[in-house]
Amino acid sequence: MIGGHDLGGKHGLGPINPEPESEEPLFHAEWERRIFALTLATGMLGQWNIDESRHARERQHPVDYLKQSYFENWLVGLEKLLDEKHLLERANQQQNQQENLRIPDAVGVEKILASGGPTLMPDTALARFGIGAKVTVPKRQGSGHTRVPAYVQGASGEIVDHYGTHVFPDANARGDRRGEHLYSVRFDGESLWGNESQGQSVFIDLWEPYLEATAI
């Protein structure tokens, strides 16, 4: 979906003035630390994946998304997931019955965070595109989760690398864990950002369903 979170190429938002990386704190307030911890803790229950979590944050009005801070949007997404998965109701019911929820101990949490979430999957189909292939990103509509940014839709580029088959986030956000071929695509900066980006290139990792062969 193209919502408030998809900011690349948007106008009227003013300059970006990030804090120097050497000075930026991990958290700006204690409540941010708690939201981070709550999100990790509930994620360990195994009731949703990272793409479902991202999509939960995206599914709010763009005005709300933009006026809220980073961790406020995390909280909105977490509340939505807890409600949709009925976890609060199930927690109350556990007083009378046991439910097999995955709840690792502190050592288990540390191992999970250190290993991350693997996305590489076995190849089940041949790749449609080879290195050097010219491809175009069709313009998309819809309300589902996607990792193709709006500013590259309609643009054409060239395949420069192929990473194999990885979990396709659009399907994974619906709970359908399946793989698609993943490529690095180079775009001329000028075609995306105008004359000010002449001579520059933009590299974007894009899954195969996002791409079509460029018509000659």
**What domains appear along the chain, each with residue ranges and CATH number?**
30-117 (1.10.472.20), 121-213 (2.30.30.50)
DSSP β-ladder status, 156-167 and 120-121: antiparallel
Global pTM reads 0.84
Closest by CA to 121, choosing from 173, 51, 186, 172, is 172
Q: How far is CA 93 from the centre of its chain?
A: 33
Report pLDDT for 111: 77
Q: List pLDDT tens digits, range 103-156.
A: 677 787 777 777 777 899 999 999 999 999 999 999 876 778 999 998 999 999
Give the SS3 label for residue 114. helix
Above pLDDT 90, what percent of the chain? Answer: 56
